[in-house]
Amino acid sequence: MVNKKGQEMSVSTIVLIVIGIIVLVMLILGFSMGWQNLWGKINIFGGGSNLDTIINSCNIAATSDSTASYCNDFKMLSKGVYVNCDYADVKAGVTKPLSCTGEPDKVKCTSVIGEAVVNTAKASVTAAVPATATEPAKPAITQEMITAAKKKITDNKDTYNGRTCAAILGVQ
């Protein structure tokens, strides 16, 4: 009679269990850390550095003469660091750089923080102005509102082409 105390497990079953555990760990890490962060850490999906990816994107924009994409699209270089194609490190790798006019970093900061907040931070204390036949009413701007708006701008530590929004917008 054959001893049947334990049952053998085939090699393919063991391999499937190991693969299942790896997939489970990846799912847990992906949902807890965020997928972008996970792929950045293990760097098997995406190839070279993020700077190379941004330079490739800028070369495509430059080749197609897409000034809007070249100048106004800020891409994340790393957490909290955003650059467009006019950033020195990126521009150095672009084969046919375009010329950016205006202040795309200022436009980006204003859109991120909010135009009303930026306008309030740059305003002076004023009293409320009642509506007239040609002008709508203007609410009062208090020192507390200005201080809160400036705090919101200075609390944003993200950088755009190497400068914070506080530096770009001239808010102390």
- Report the pLDDT value the prediction gives residue 49, as an integer from 0 to 100: 60
Whether 140 has a pLDDT exceeding 60, the answer reads yes
Whether 5 has a pLDDT exceeding 80, the answer reads no
Domain boundaries, the chain: 23-101, 102-172
Whether 135 has a pLDDT exceeding 60, the answer reads yes
Q: Is the pTM of this model over 0.75?
A: no
pLDDT tens digits for range 30-80: 788 777 666 666 655 555 568 888 898 899 999 999 999 999 999 888 888
**Mean pLDDT over residues 92-118, rounded?**
89
Tokens 């205006």 correspond to what residue?
102
Burial 97-116 (b: 16+ CB within 10 A, else e): bbebeeebbbebbbebbeee
- Report the pLDDT value the prediction gives residue 136, as an integer from 0 to 100: 82
pLDDT-derived band at 23 (thresholds 50, 70, 90) equals very high
